[in-house]
Chains A and B, each alone.
Chain A
């Protein structure tokens, strides 16, 4: 019996390299000769077999490797509204137009041979886009060409296309003169789009999720709960026991769970009374860094946490804080799912082959143990009203000076606040509710930022407004 379940055959000296490969795969999902960087594929292929085994055993994910690419196929337990495809240059999430274009362009590429130019691609794209209501493609309409450029950029970044001549900027400026020629990497194109079920067979997006085969036995249920726990821990920033059902919470508290994940990723696990998290000490094992590079949003999010901590620790004001119970995460997920299903194009669905998850879940609810789905007792979270948040951001602008929040946000504290709160919500540090936010426990990790904030001087002047005071400290 080997000492470790994870990376059982990996020598201690190679563990670093193994963990690096594991992190690469979990972070990017697709790795090929150029994406995310030149040597990445070689690293992953070196550990291909071990990684495939560990991903399968720990998470039920499958890792597929060929000489040209590696692809991690996840099995999702829930939809995640905070995941988004980002544009390569400005790192903004794709809007619906870009998402639809991405699908259509991939479909066009699929039918092409080894090369395609942008003009032809658009010629193929336009009719299929025009068949979709409210989408369409019109080179003269504002935003349509930019959307194509962003999508193609994304594909080029992922190595699905390689630009061999011309440039997209020329095309965007003047489609009659400028053009760009691309080599198509069909392997990567195929690897990018890997739905786990044929989409036309779905009558609800829930079919895309991993629904375990129904089993009433205690052992299989426990095994599934352990798998779910590991997936939660590896995918999400913080896992609160209160958000999960009892079995998963028990699995999350197992010491072997942390041991396995720590050995796989090489990153430490932090346990607290409210939950458990994997701490990213590399600064790269995440798609949203926090506290990360000094972007205005990131920084404001941190400062807001500090302000909130101040509020919570101030004996005068803390007593006035309301403590509310957060909404049931299951209910929120159901809401997201229903929003997704609202748009399901009925025309394309093959009803005969369709898979109906509701039939299954109904059955499951009947047969499952009554205590299996019971949630851990949720505790009240401090509620910060929207007005208080606005007051906080105004204070921050006064203390630091608007110019320190970059040109973009200088005159828009409200917008910056919204972005910062959205970031914190994505990071599971706050919970957005109507009228304000609920502060989640892990926000307490970052209350030290308070110490670095300047204290308002008694005379009403703020420390950082005067450089002389800064030097006198």
Chain B
């Protein structure tokens, strides 16, 4: 991991002294006009490096290029290139991909010495630049994967690490820790790469739906296996991390730092480096506070990716039907509709293409349509009833909107008081009536009203049985009035006149007494 030390103390013997700007300048060759030729020169250099020919002469480069040209078509011919100038450019002061070293061989004569040529060699950082460029150029989708098999190794390594720490085996501690570190970095890299690749696929799937379909099962299986494995191992790995911590993290780091073979680093820096790495490892499997573990994050990412792939699958399968995708169909239709000569044609086209339309019907039916002959014409048959106000005023008759609620509490209260007073008067009159009887006295207005009300009820309640009228009763909450059949009939004298009741007399009893009597007699 690339990290600058801010302390100002020069670390690692000042070999890392190139600033970011300098390092970026190393990539200058990719910006030159004939960048492909430069790349091939570097490839030739790499071929030579692979056979441990570290310092090379331009002639060697030329022959290596010729060899490459035999295998690849696009290699520029060495004769066309100003090879020497290119190599010099690459080893210029501000580029430094290559070192230029004077040829150490003895020349023997002056002419040869004047003609003496340089030999070139990759600088360490220059080689990395070359590798980085190659990696970018050569990266392929096929390589992207998540490795599920690695979890078992990690678990074993953690266990071994704890054991080694307990036993004090410094070399083993170092080896295991270093390996864990690199494995986890590898997982992170792979995952990042895998998901990025998936995104790329999702963005550009129109070009290769067949490929995607061919691999969809493998892809989905791969991802679901990975999550399953991760889920299975996560608790055990967390346990293993605790186990390592129990064996003493500080000692562990001391031991690892002590064995660390990086000579260009001070011991304290080395220990700090290992501490950082250990924290990184720990965060992978143990949650700190509210933050999720990296393992959980990876699992979440995988789950999202699976749903993404399914979404992609939906698009791709749709495009497979008929060989054209929905997207391109829609674009085609958009261009078609946009170019239509008039709006009606455009609408007719789009509604037909979407297969969306609506039914349309006229309303206004005859109440008795069967009466009209189907052979008559529309002009002869009666016209339909239409709403008059619709055409006279442009409005359809409507019940109107809801009216506001009028709450007039004062009026309600006054009415209620009035009602209570009336009820009390009625009740009083009924009680008087009960005390004194209806006949043989003059009834006052209130009593008359009470009697008449009950009389109405009683008369309405009478039933005719076998042609004879039977008695009826009418009752209020205070008293019950009964019509008793009588030959003489009776009279009610009131303040305003006399009411004759032929055929019956009135009998008044407290409310409920009548029914009680009936039940007693039966």
Contacts and interface: CB of A to CB of B under 8 A. Distances in A.
A279 B331 contact: no
Contact of A199 (B307, B308, B333, B364): B333
Interface in B281-336: 307-308, 311, 314-315, 318, 321-324, 326-336
B387 interface: yes
Given A83-B357, A336-B345, A272 B381 contact: yes
A133 to B, nearest CB: 7
Interface size class of A (residues with CB under 8 A): 35 or more
A29 B239 CA distance: 58
B347 A350 contact: no
B362 interface: yes
Contacts of B346: 95-96, 99, 343
Nearest to A23: B359
Interface stretch (B57-65, B117-125, B371-379, B474-482): B371-379
A403 to B, nearest CB: 10
A268 B384 CA distance: 14
Contacts of A285: 359, 361
Contacts of B331: 103-104, 107, 128, 131, 348
B360 A427 contact: yes
A456 interface: no
Nearest to A235: B359
A193 interface: yes
Contacts of B385: 448
Contacts of A277: 361-362
B410 interface: no
Given A29-B355, A102-B350, A113-B308, A443 B378 contact: yes
A397 interface: no
Contacts of A83: 347-348, 351, 357-358
B335 A444 contact: no
A453 B347 CA distance: 36
Interface in A77-97: 79-85, 93-97
A168 interface: no
A96 B338 contact: yes
B383 A96 contact: no
B354 interface: yes
A110 B312 CA distance: 10
Nearest to B311: A113
Contacts of B376: 272-273
Contacts of B393: 294, 404
Nearest to A30: B356
Contacts of A404: 393-394
B303 to A, nearest CB: 13
Contacts of B338: 96-97, 99-100, 132-135, 343
A84 B377 contact: no
A197 B323 CA distance: 11
A61 to B, nearest CB: 10
A342 B341 contact: yes
A336 B361 contact: no
A15 B384 CA distance: 27
A218 interface: no
B396 interface: yes
Contacts of A267: 361
A145 B340 CA distance: 21
Contact of B339 (A278, A282, A343, A452): A343
Contact of A95 (B311, B323, B336, B343): B343
A65 to B, nearest CB: 16
A128 B348 CA distance: 23
Given A279-B363, A291-B390, A268 B369 contact: yes
Interface stretch (A173-181, A220-228, A296-304, A368-376): A296-304
Interface string A6-35: 000000000000000000001111100000
A72 to B, nearest CB: 9
Where chain B touches its partner, the secondary structure class is helix
Contact of A441 (B375, B378, B386): B378
A290 B337 CA distance: 29
A291 B328 contact: no
A119 interface: no
Contacts of A238: 362
A348 B341 contact: no
B13 interface: no
Determine which residue in B337, B353, B382, B393 has the highest number of CB atoms from chain A within 10 A of its CB, and name it: B337
B363 A444 contact: no
Contacts of B315: 110-111
A353 interface: yes
Contact of A29 (B358, B365, B391): B358
A340 interface: yes
Contacts of B323: 198, 350, 353
Contacts of A56: none
Contact of B386 (A29, A234, A452): A452
Contact of B383 (A73, A444, A464): A444
A442 B378 contact: yes
Nearest to B356: A29
B139 interface: no
Contacts of A452: 386, 388, 391-392
Given A96-B346, A339-B340, A404-B394, A74 B355 contact: yes
Determine which residue in B328, B330, B376 has the highest number of CB atoms from chain A within 10 A of its CB, and name it: B330
B362 A299 contact: no
B379 A312 contact: yes
Given A96-B340, A196-B355, A273-B376, A446 B384 contact: yes
A26 B347 contact: no
B395 interface: yes
Nearest to B365: A279
B522 interface: no
B351 A291 contact: no
Contacts of A327: none
B377 A104 contact: no
B407 interface: no
B352 A85 contact: no
Nearest to B362: A237
B387 A200 contact: no
A107 B315 CA distance: 11
Given A84-B351, A294-B395, A281 B365 contact: yes
A362 interface: no
B342 interface: yes
Contact of A93 (B308, B347, B355, B394): B347
Nearest to A344: B336
A150 B383 CA distance: 40
Determine which residue in A79, A97, A293, A426 has the highest number of CB atoms from chain B within 10 A of its CB, and name it: A79
A2 interface: no
A273 B396 CA distance: 31
A39 B392 CA distance: 37
A113 B305 CA distance: 11
Contact of A290 (B342, B362, B387): B362
B259 interface: no
B337 A427 contact: no
B344 interface: yes
Contacts of A358: none
B350 A234 contact: no
A197 B396 CA distance: 45
B362 A442 contact: yes
20 contacts: A28-B358, A29-B357, A80-B348, A81-B347, A96-B343, A103-B331, A110-B330, A134-B338, A194-B354, A200-B328, A205-B352, A208-B353, A302-B386, A336-B344, A343-B338, A348-B332, A445-B381, A446-B364, A448-B383, A448-B386
Given A198-B329, A302-B386, 9 more contacts: A83-B351, A84-B343, A103-B331, A131-B331, A134-B338, A195-B355, A272-B377, A286-B360, A343-B346
Interface of B: 307-308, 311, 314-315, 318, 321-324, 326-366, 369, 374-388, 390-396
The 4 closest A-B pairs by CB, nearest first: A343-B339, A448-B383, A198-B322, A271-B374
